[in-house]
Structure 1
Amino acid sequence: MEQLPAGAAIPVDDVPDVSAEWYLDIARLGVTSPEPVQVFGAFFTDAVLVLFALGSLLLWWRARRGSAAAMARAVLVPVVTVVAYVISETVKVGWQVDRPCRALGEVVTVVACPVVGDWSFPSNHAAIAGAAAVGIAWCSGRLGVLAGAVAVAAAFSRVFVGAHYPHDVAAGLLCGAVVALGLPVGARAVAPVVARLRQHTVGGVLLGGR
């Protein structure tokens, strides 16, 4: 098995040198961690998406007995999350920055290096986490604090397992958070629709209020 490069990182176009160096340090931490830590990191980095999906489901369930405005915010959390993903993926395809595990010299990582063409900047996982966390915070302050901590952990995990540069995940978190900032505006427009749908049988079952 190859060893992680030591010393200065290989210069890569469109990648800040400090981000490449931090990546090598964190990725090295990953592969030199105890095996249970590596296994958990590999599991958590993808499982966290399921956690955010469950969080959105919990918000919907709680909002069924709340106001139409509360339900509108809850149903828009997965919407802003999908929008953040689409934006991050569009930027990723347009920018086409190769993954650090390949660009920096076949770095040994916790998880397998993504295939060529699966670009690095920005991180889709981090964009989803950022949008979901801010969206959840709009709905519930307490859950928002927890979601924010999970989002930061999710972003770090993408570097820890060797999939992304630190600036990839920072950009992803920022992208998701900015998209989710528009949730209250969208909720004001959606709330009257929710109120009307609640008057019907199916809408009442799905959106509550009956």
Structure 2
Amino acid sequence: MAGLAASGSNPDVDLLYDINGLAKDAPHWFDRVMEFVGEYGLLLAVVLLVLACWWSLRRRAGDAAPGVAALLWAPLAAALAVVVNVPIRDFVARPRPFRDHPGLDVLVSGKTDYSFVSDHAAVTMALAVGLFVAHRRFGLVGIGLALLEGFCRVYMGVHYPTDVVGGFALGTAVALLLSPLAMALLTPVVRTVGRSPRAGRLVRSRSAAGSSRTEPDPSARGARSGRERPVGAEERDLAA
């Protein structure tokens, strides 16, 4: 299977040339920006998005354990996607596109491993889908960043478009299909950590924990208002 896209015209290679051709027409400084963004920047942005979501969830009133557990699953799913990709890469053994297509403008040198599937695409999408399970709005932003990551990998000339699509599929499958099992295992652990005086701050902020303890029960408040009468109310009723 080493010659999966070695030669010949096909949509995968055509799209590779179309997207990578943008790098040839772009200014040198823009290519350097895309090199950093595609190699490190977008992955860092998704990680920061996960941290921002964690900060938001722990400040929310109510039971934060399921949301924090889902968020904890996101990096675990990304790591698992990389592990699963190791045998996939060795089995497919697809060379990097610049090895079979010398005319490409390669922005990152030193890539000697196989091309299918893209680790960057798998990791960012696994993080984004795990983030989506925890928080829809943050997750949609993360998925947008993951799609941009896939575009950058093709733009840089280090992956075929199908490498990126395969990475997206792998990251989504790992994060989504294993999510119920991960939630069942992680939620009790997170709840246990949340009850700890010190480590509990990882699950809930001090203000959120305080508000949940002091917030009165509406039903109890209504019952009390129905039972309690102002001082002297009985005497006024008899006088009337």
Same fold per superposition (TM over 0.5): yes
Residue pairs, 1:43-192, within 5 angstroms: 43-46=36-39, 47-66=41-60, 67-104=64-101, 106-116=102-112, 118-181=113-176, 182-192=178-188
Deviation at 1:154, TM superposition (A): 0.5
Unmatched segments (≥5 aa) in structure 2? 210-240
Alignment deviations for residues 134-182 of structure 1 (CA, whole Å, 9 cap, x no partner) = 1111111111221111111110110001010000000001110111102
Amino acid at match of 1:98: P
Unmatched segments (≥5 aa) in structure 1? 1-11
Provide the C-alpha distance between the structure 1 equivalents of 2:198 and 2:96, rounded to a whole number of angstroms.
46
Provide the C-alpha distance between the structure 2 equivalents of 1:189 and 1:115, rounded to a whole number of angstroms.
37
User: Is this contact kept in 2: 1:69–1:188, CA < 8 A?
Assistant: no
TM-score by length of 2: 0.75
Provide the C-alpha distance between the structure 1 equivalents of 2:21 and 2:200, rounded to a whole number of angstroms.
53
Provide the C-alpha distance between the structure 1 equivalents of 2:57 and 2:90, rounded to a whole number of angstroms.
37
Provide the C-alpha distance between the structure 2 equivalents of 1:48 and 1:125, rounded to a whole number of angstroms.
9
TM-score by length of 1: 0.85
Aligned CA distance change for structure 1 residues 65 and 187 (closer, same or farther; 3 Å): farther
Q: Indicate the SS of the match to 1:159.
A: helix
User: Is this contact kept in 2: 1:42–1:110, CA < 8 A?
Assistant: no
Provide the C-alpha distance between the structure 2 equivalents of 1:206 and 1:142, rounded to a whole number of angstroms.
21
Provide the C-alpha distance between the structure 1 equivalents of 2:135 and 2:202, rounded to a whole number of angstroms.
20
Alignment deviations for residues 83-132 of structure 1 (CA, whole Å, 9 cap, x no partner) = 1122123311332211001122x23424134443x110000000011111
Deviation at 1:80, TM superposition (A): 0.7
Deviation at 1:19, TM superposition (A): 0.8
Using the TM superposition, name which of 118-127 and 60-69 deviates more: 60-69
Equivalent of 2:10, from 5, 9, 17? 17
Amino acid at match of 1:167: T
Alignment deviations for residues 24-58 of structure 1 (CA, whole Å, 9 cap, x no partner) = 22212212222233122111102111111112222
**Count of residue pairs brought into register by the alignment:** 197
Give the greater-gyration-radius structure (CA): 2
Q: Percent identity?
A: 28
